[in-house]
Structure 1
Amino acid sequence: MKATIVTIGDEILIGQIVDTNSAFIAKSLDRIGVEINEMVSISDDKNHILDTFSTLQNTVDLVIVTGGLGPTKDDVTKKTFCDYFEDELVVNQEVLAHVTQLIEGFYKREITQINKDQALVPSKCTVLHNQVGTAPGMWMKKENTVFISLPGVPYEMKYLVENEIIPKVVKEYKRPYIIHKTILTYGQGESMVSERIENWENSLPEFLKLAYLPSPGRVRLRLSARGTNKELLENVIEEYIVSLDAIIHDIIVGFEDEETIEVVIGQMLRKYGKTIATAESCTGGSIAALLASVPGASHYFKGSVVSYATETKIAVLGIPEELIQEYSVVSSEVVSAMALSAKRLMKTDYAIATTGNAGPTKGDGNAEIGSVFIALATPSEVIVEEHNFGQPREKVIDRAVFKSLELLRKEILKNVL
């Protein structure tokens, strides 16, 4: 079963906003065995939308459209659906009642005609009821293709995907199984990893595909299997993971199904009842931002000091000025003191600290550009790593962040086993 995702909006095409809707929809459909054929972003132009629909007709089973369903004049999707399906807009009384209750009951203001027009839908469509907004989704079929229209507001789109579309697709379509398993590797680049596993990769059966997903400091190896026998697929993937581990055991640090490293760390900290704080200089709060991005992070993440300037390290973290003068602000001694200070200030089990010269020019320290010191204060010791991540600046910061999180992950495991 194949699908295409279409996002409508000039704001996407001019780079004003980033299209996160397509990623969410693609991941949701992939979980239930729907293959994404392509993702397309198009303008708020009626003829462009109609041409896109015509091109996709009968080439895929599903066309998921987001955007253009708001109450303003530049939202053209509903009218374009009517043109494409030779239909007309009618008032859906259930949608109207919901919109009225939302505007008058929740927002406590008089409903306007623009609000009422949200209840206009093509007469032939199956309405997908949007309980968290005013714009309903629409499900319409023409020949062999179902066209589904969703609002572009992310939380409304997510509600409709999870509560309306996925259950309906599961009920009405027979789909294959799509299984992914991702192996996390750290410390070697994509080309080196590829050379080491070349023979293993060449031995993969046709239904098992390998993808390289490189990012600063790590390479993720995603194995994907597609077929009708779920147990067989899972067993084959597991067998190949075991044989892969025998080849590159030294750089495999874990496995990832749908979770990022910050989610995995959060799960570990909650499971073992441990807490974390950060004291960041060159990473500028990026580690804290990742940790705090996970729902429920307040259970284990106690806070951060972004001590970007030397005077902040002294005044807030209490790093002795003499220590900085003797060893430099970018040093193992200073980063150790930063981690211990954060651990003490926030009364946590662990604390991460970073200091370095991310570039493009040197700051307060004399270390080479790209140099980063990472410290992790654990319940029993302070571990320090020194790296040089080169340039550009963004690469240095990204690699420092993920090296810090990976160090934390490994040490949590050491301390609980």
Structure 2
Amino acid sequence: MKAEIITIGDEILLGQIVDTNSAWIAQVLFAEQIHIQQITSITDKEDHILQALADARDRADLIICTGGLGPTKDDVTKFTAAKFFLTELVHDPAVLAHVEQIFARFNRTMPDINLGQADVLANGEVLFNDWGTAPGMWVEDQGKVFVFLPGVPFEMKNLMTHRVIPKLKVFKSTEQVVNRYILTVGIGESHLAESIADIEDSFPPHVHLAYLPKIGLVRLRISVTGTDIDALNREADQWKEALAKRIGKAVVATEDISFEEVIVRAFSTCGYTLSTAESCTGGNIARLITEIPGSSEMFQGSIVAYANSVKENMLGVQADTLAHHGAVSEQTVIEMAKGVQSKLNSNYAIATSGIAGPGGGTPEKPVGTVWVAVAGRDQVRTKLFQFHQDRLLNIERTTAQALLMLWNLYQEESGF
């Protein structure tokens, strides 16, 4: 079954919000073996919506639209959908009672503007929204399924989970897709591609390899398409094993998990603990680690030592070190790493200090100069990086490199 997502709203195209809905819907549909062919973002204008619906009907069997179902004048989706289907909006007393109950539940008076939310497509089935006032709608037209959902993420997710997915169970395609993943770190995309080119060239037409690079890592996704799910799983595993064997030590996971989760799992299994002393990264490393469930087993804590006084008073960095070498120096990050390792009683520690930008640079230490130290059970490793002018990118790059340094030291000290 081919599916398409249409997100409706000027706020997406203006960059005022990020479209997280499409990514979530795609993941949920893939679990049901429903495959996204295209994702389209459009304005709230009627002609754009009409054209998008027409184009999607030509390409897909299932079209899911999010946004534009609210009570205000800029919410035009259902009015435009009525034109598209050559139907009308009808007042549904059950929907009105449902909306009134939601306001009553929170002891709020319902504004007259919300009366219009009881107007629904005459040719559609109402998807009652227990999490908001805008109902969803399900329409079957010319052999295609159209689903209209509110754009508010938690409302959309609940409607998809409890109303839409149960109805989609009967629409599963006979064609199946099986994915396998390989996570690599410390090797660039082009070098990785060169090292496995002959294996990739030997893939049959129904096997596809995708490269998904991020700063410091590359994720490989192996997709195998067919009808026999057991055979697909066996074949996918064989290709995954062949690729992982060729890539070697750069492989840190052969499942769809993040590098941070790899670290959390490894440290938790070995009983090792981690702490961070962050200056230029501002707690970003700690944030990524603590987003992983189970990180409490291995993460002791973080000290965001932005000011020199905090580096001295909380981490024990010597005043002479700061005076003679500066905050952005190898000597300082060594003392930061050792300081937080001792203070928080951890086996490993990461320290970062740098000039993230856009200001603060000097000829000797321009913007993008970053020192990272990783203290392990037996030694301390340091590295100097020269990044660029972009502040957020510098923080992201520093974070990625610090985690890679941590992993490499952990691997070495553990004898892997």
What is the TM-score normalised by the length of structure 2? 0.88
What secondary structure, in the 3-state scheme, does the structure 2 residue paired with 1:316 have?
helix
The CA distance in 2 between the partners of 1:250 and 1:275, in whole Å, is 23
Look up the match of 1:391.
388
Gaps in structure 1 of 5+ consecutive residues: none
2:336 matched to 1:338?
yes
Look up the match of 2:248.
249
Deviation track 1:359-384 (CA, whole Å, cap 9, x = no partner) reads: 56665895576554333345x34542
Change (3 A) 1:229 1:373: farther
Query: Match of 1:26, as an amino acid?
Result: A
Change (3 A) 1:89 1:399: same
Look up the match of 1:124.
123
What secondary structure, in the 3-state scheme, does the structure 1 residue paired with 2:372 have?
strand
Is this contact kept in 2: 1:58–1:143, CA < 8 A? Answer: no
Shift of 1:138: 1.0
Look up the match of 1:60.
60
What secondary structure, in the 3-state scheme, does the structure 1 residue paired with 2:315 have?
coil
Deviation track 1:312-360 (CA, whole Å, cap 9, x = no partner) reads: 3123323111233455433444223222332444455543221234456
Gaps in structure 2 of 5+ consecutive residues: none
Is this contact kept in 2: 1:184–1:218, CA < 8 A? Answer: yes
Is this contact kept in 1: 2:184–2:250, CA < 8 A? Answer: yes
Q: How does 1:178-257 map to 2 (within 5 A)?
A: 178-257=177-256
Is this contact kept in 2: 1:216–1:395, CA < 8 A? Answer: no
Look up the match of 1:33.
33
Deviation track 1:235-292 (CA, whole Å, cap 9, x = no partner) reads: 22222222223322132222341x3223444455666676543211222322123234
Q: How does 1:357-372 map to 2 (within 5 A)?
A: 357-358=355-356, 363=361, 370-372=368-370
The CA distance in 1 between the partners of 2:127 and 2:380, in whole Å, is 54
What secondary structure, in the 3-state scheme, does the structure 2 residue paired with 1:170 have?
helix
What is the identity percentage for the equivalent residue pairs of Structure 1 and Structure 2? 41
Query: Match of 1:190, as an amino acid?
Result: E
Change (3 A) 1:178 1:377: same
Query: Match of 1:126, as an amino acid?
Result: E
Deviation track 1:94-149 (CA, whole Å, cap 9, x = no partner) reads: 433332222122x2111222233323221321222222212121110111211111
Query: Match of 1:75, as an amino acid?
Result: D
Aligned length: 414
Look up the match of 1:110.
109
Change (3 A) 1:256 1:242: closer
> More displaced, 403-412 or 53-62?
403-412
Candidates 274, 284, 287, aligned match of 1:286: 284
What secondary structure, in the 3-state scheme, does the structure 1 residue paired with 2:350 have?
strand
Is this contact kept in 1: 2:186–2:404, CA < 8 A? Answer: no
The CA distance in 2 between the partners of 1:274 and 1:221, in whole Å, is 29
What secondary structure, in the 3-state scheme, does the structure 2 residue paired with 1:70 have?
coil
Shift of 1:8: 0.6
The CA distance in 2 between the partners of 1:199 and 1:24, in whole Å, is 34
Shift of 1:63: 0.8
Is this contact kept in 2: 1:208–1:224, CA < 8 A? Answer: yes
What secondary structure, in the 3-state scheme, does the structure 1 residue paired with 2:36 have?
strand
The CA distance in 2 between the partners of 1:72 and 1:199, in whole Å, is 57
Is this contact kept in 2: 1:272–1:416, CA < 8 A? Answer: no
Change (3 A) 1:80 1:275: farther
Over the aligned positions, Cα root-mean-square deviation in angstroms equals: 2.9
Look up the match of 1:97.
97
The CA distance in 2 between the partners of 1:298 and 1:68, in whole Å, is 41
> More displaced, 364-373 or 272-281?
364-373
Look up the match of 1:155.
154
Look up the match of 1:71.
71
